Amino acid sequence: MQNHPSYPKLSQLIAKYPKASAALFQVYNDLLLAQRWSDIEVLDLPACSRGAIKGRRPITDTETIRSTCVVVPCSIAESLSTSWFHAAFASLGDPPPEEMYLAITTEDASTVYYKISKGIVKPPV
């Protein structure tokens, strides 16, 4: 992992939160290289003991501008609670964003993304 070009940007957070390092590394590479997000920056969320990633994603059909989203990585082996999510939203800024993405990673480098919103959201028509 140390020889990968993405390692230098993440080395600080990898050293600080070793348990979450695999998920952070995998999600960072997926967003940067495979999903082609831009303006990617890495945030530190001490309340969740991990780093998070903020960036702008490519345009989908229903949008006109590239929206900025936050992705919090985690591993499938972890157990998360609603208070964890509250803490994550709280540490993402003031006022906290309405939604964030949870990226769940596995050992074979699969990543699935879930959109987590604060409170109930009406489904789109």
Partner 1 sequence: MSLINPSNRSKGPHKGFSKRTENNRIYAHPLPLVLFTPPDPSPLQRALGLVGISSTQVLNPHCEGVFDAATRSVWVDKHGGAMVLWQRGFFGKGDLSRSEPSWLARQINARKMAGKGLTSEEVTAKRRAERKQFKLDRARAMAAAAAEAEVAFAEGRVVSPGYAPDGTRIIPSAATWKPSLSTAAEQAPPTPDDAPEEGEEGDGEEEPLEDLEHLQLTLQEAFFLLWNLDCLTVLSPDTHEPLTLPQIWDTFQNAHHPPHLSALPPAPSPSPSPLPSIPPSPSPAPALRRFDNPFLVNYVVYHHYRSLGWVVKNGIKFCVDYLLYKRGPVFHHAEFAIVVCPVYEDPADQASSPFELQNATPFTWSWLSTINRVNSQVQKTLILTYITIPAHSRLSPDVLSSPACFAHYSVREVVLRRFIPTRMRD
Which residues of this chain interact with partner 1, rule CB under 8 A?
1-2, 4-5, 14-15, 18-19, 21-22, 25-26, 29-30, 32-34, 36-38, 58-59, 61, 66, 76-77, 79, 104, 106-110, 112, 125
* Cβ at position 106, least distance to partner 1 in Å: 5
| Calpha distance 98→11 (Å, rounded) | 29
Residue 113: strand, helix, or coil: strand
Minimal CA–CA distance to 55: which of 32, 33, 75, 34?
Answer: 32
21-29 vs 7-16: helix axis angle to the nearest 10? Answer: 160
Closest distance between partner 1 and the C-beta of residue 72, in Å?
17
Question: Which residues, at least 6 apart from 46, have a Cβ–Cβ distance to it below 8 Å?
Answer: 91
Q: Which is nearer to partner 1, 110 or 117 (CB)?
A: 110
Nearer to partner 1, 84 or 91 (CB): 84
**Of 32 and 91, CB closest to partner 1:** 32
Minimum gap (Å) between residue 58 Cβ and partner 1: 5
Sign of CA dihedral 120, 81, 21, 52: positive
Nearer to partner 1, 92 or 104 (CB): 104
